[in-house]
Structure 1
């Protein structure tokens, strides 16, 4: 299960109030297989009256994400997004690869943690490879991430003991373990 209380927004964004006159417009949700540039353009044009309210732009944009895109959003480090500009940059970086590189989810089982590689670097590399896969459900990447760890790695045992973890939960556990 994705931990939605673990927002990547700064406290300033999280605590900002919506303007009184704000009425939630209708948005088409973004799913990985859709055109990210079209989604961003549509979002910006729909929110044109509020483009100077960065906090609102961030909060509402997060609502437009669905499925794996929403799961990806909650894997961003806490307090890492300070503006809509930053959010759109990391969003574009994450999903721009969907346009050109298409791999199957079983490709992730080839991604293994190298002996001298840090857990944090393995996670970055794994996430980059996962971003190349369109329409990948959560169970295969979660299993591949675990399988990519050496069996004697302390995190491997923790992941194997918790059967109901999502990939986002696995990354959260790995982040705590990497500290």
Structure 2
């Protein structure tokens, strides 16, 4: 599988997983009553914000770890300043490449390949985690009941009358 095909699959899986956010939010909001909709909305927003922040942190860690591992064996032929700069970031590799002269394009090419590989790996991991999360949410969230169903159940004919304790079915 070439880099372009892998990138397309990574973005497609990521898009599918991100598309699961709206239905999950809908599941949360339909599982709460009207009186608790504010709390349900706050919980859904908090989960999205926290999940997004943690997801970015994990993606960054996966990307950087993969980038550095990909470069590890390729930097022995360069001066130590260039190797350290390339290990730090793609921008560091670009700066070091300028200082290396004729060997610069080779270092920048290796760093670019490592960066693309790291990015693809991070997207694939994120997509797989998001798909697993969506599957867990679909499996673990309670059955879907609409608010109309909830309201109809709360105004059931056999519910007790507030002042008498008698049910409406007794009348």
Answer yes or no: same fold by TM over 0.5: no
Normalized against structure 1, the TM-score is what?
0.18
Higher relative contact order (CA 8 A, sep 6+): 2
More helix by share: 2
Normalized against structure 2, the TM-score is what?
0.19
